[in-house]
């Protein structure tokens, strides 16, 4: 019952990247409800993928707070397939999905409304890409000079 | 508030700790207690960058951690103590620090160890240290994530390490 109030997350990617990404996130946060992963394989066409997305979007949609589609790459088939749902009011679409983005979506989807959650996911994604070597070395230099 | 969790996890600060434990216990100060890590500048820098901005990280020797706790320096924080090994926990308790319950989160496998739970492997010597902690009345619960079921560590040892 609480599930219908939870924002759903649909991860759509080339190959099984999305399935494994969801598994990785659950390793950190524990098992999650209202999360779907759709894999695009060689045999799948645009319309098969769109059919699968439409079916998930319909699940509990009348009570749902909405769903966020997370795709791997803007311009790829998962993203192109999602464009069909551009006009749906309770659907947000974000590209470039990575682990910090998915974790943020899972962590905050019961406390933020749909549009704000989508903004947070995008922000977390942008913040998550770092030059690790530079960041750590900078920190070390700063501590030395203190 | 002081110490909200004491945890043994030989990976120290990692995804499960930052994204799950810190959030669910509202931890704002992570205290790593280990003599080796306390002298490793690279690890210290990395760990201090790994937590969200609202929290801070201290990497202390056992002696320093004892001083900080007994002098009440953690009292205003919601602190999470992270230990690499049960031996460090035993050492700090023997120095007079009171720890009633310890969460055993992760001890990685190596050939001389026996795996007793999914994320926990122990050597003969570590079993003895756990037995000593048990004798001292410390409750030992094995759990990777906050929402996982608490497993009695001593029972798991008795079951698997016969």
Domains defined for chain A, CATH in brackets: 2-145 (3.40.50.510)
Confidence of residue B94 (pLDDT cuts 50, 70, 90): very high
Is A32 part of the contact surface with chain B (CB cutoff 8 Å)?
no
Confidence of residue B161 (pLDDT cuts 50, 70, 90): low
**A2 has pLDDT over 50:** no
**B13 has pLDDT over 90:** yes
Is A140 part of the contact surface with chain B (CB cutoff 8 Å)?
yes
Residue B64 three-state SS: helix
Is B15 part of the contact surface with chain A (CB cutoff 8 Å)?
yes
**A3 has pLDDT over 50:** no
- The boundaries of the domain holding residue B115 are 2-160
- Choose among A85, A54, A60, A64: nearest CA to A7: A64
pLDDT of residue B26: 97
Task: Please write the tens of the pLDDT for every residue from A19-65.
Answer: 999 999 999 999 999 999 999 998 898 999 999 999 999 987 667 78
Task: Please write the tens of the pLDDT for every residue from A58-98.
Answer: 987 667 789 999 999 999 999 999 999 999 999 999 999 99
B114: domain CATH number? 3.40.35.10
Task: Judge: B20–A29 Cβ closer than 8 Å, yes or no.
Answer: yes
Nearest CA in chain A to B42: A140
Average pLDDT estimate for B30-36 = 98
Do the beta carbons of residue A9 and residue A105 sit within 8 Å? yes
User: Starting from the edge strand earliest in sequence, which strands make up the sheet with B29-33, in order?
Assistant: B56-60, B29-33, B78-83, B2-9, B101-106, B139-142, B151-152
Q: What percent of chain B has pLDDT over 70?
A: 99
pLDDT of residue A5: 74
Separation between Cα atoms, residue A140 and residue B80, nearest integer Å: 24
Mean confidence (pLDDT) of chain B: 96
Separation between Cα atoms, residue B60 and residue B48, nearest integer Å: 13
Q: Which residues of A touch B48 (CB under 8 A)?
A: 139
Task: Please write the tens of the pLDDT for every residue from B81-92.
Answer: 999 999 999 999
Is A136 part of the contact surface with chain B (CB cutoff 8 Å)?
yes
**Minimal Cα–Cα distance from A120 to chain B, Å?**
15
Q: Which residues of A touch B16 (CB under 8 A)?
A: 27-28
Separation between Cα atoms, residue B107 and residue B122, nearest integer Å: 7
pLDDT of residue B1: 74
- Stated pTM of the model: 0.87
Average pLDDT estimate for B14-21 = 95
Nearest to B45 among A29, A103, A139 (CB): A139
The number of folded domains in chain B is 1
Do the beta carbons of residue A53 and residue A61 sit within 8 Å? no
**B4 has pLDDT over 90:** yes
Average pLDDT estimate for B139-149 = 96
**Minimal Cα–Cα distance from B146 to chain A, Å?**
9
């Amino acid at each position: 019952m609480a599930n219908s109030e939870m924002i759903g997350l649909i991860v759509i990617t080339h190959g099984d990247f999305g399935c494994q990404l969801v598994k990785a996130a659950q390793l950190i946060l524990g098992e999650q409800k209202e999360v779907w992963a759709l894999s695009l394989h060689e045999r799948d066409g645009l319309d098969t993928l769109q059919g699968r997305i439409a079916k998930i979007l319909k699940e509990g949609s009348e009570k749902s707070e909405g769903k966020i589609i997370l795709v791997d790459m803007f311009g790829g088939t998962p993203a192109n397939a999602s464009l069909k749902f551009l006009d749906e009011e309770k659907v947000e679409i974000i590209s470039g999905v990575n682990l910090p983005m998915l974790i943020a979506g899972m962590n905050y989807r019961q406390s933020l409304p749909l549009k704000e959650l989508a903004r947070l996911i995008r922000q977390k994604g942008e913040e998550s890409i770092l030059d690790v070597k530079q960041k750590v070395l900078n920190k070390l230099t700063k501590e030395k000079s203190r | 508030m002081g110490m909200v969790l004491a945890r043994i996890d030989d990976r120290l600060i990692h995804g499960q700790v930052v994204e799950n434990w810190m959030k669910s216990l509202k931890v704002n100060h992570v205290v790593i207690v280990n003599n080796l890590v306390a002298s490793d500048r690279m690890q210290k820098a990395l760990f201090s960058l790994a937590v969200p901005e609202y929290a801070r990280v201290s990497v202390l020797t056992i002696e320093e951690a004892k001083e900080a706790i007994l002098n009440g320096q953690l009292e205003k924080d919601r602190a999470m103590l992270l230990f690499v090994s049960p031996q460090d926990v035993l050492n700090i308790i023997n120095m007079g620090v009171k720890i009633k319950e310890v969460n055993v989160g992760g001890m990685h496998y190596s050939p001389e160890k026996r795996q007793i739970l999914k994320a926990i492997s122990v050597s003969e010597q570590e079993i003895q240290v756990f037995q000593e902690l048990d004798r001292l009345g410390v409750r030992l619960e094995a759990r990777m994530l906050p929402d996982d079921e608490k497993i009695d560590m001593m029972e798991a040892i008795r079951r698997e390490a016969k």
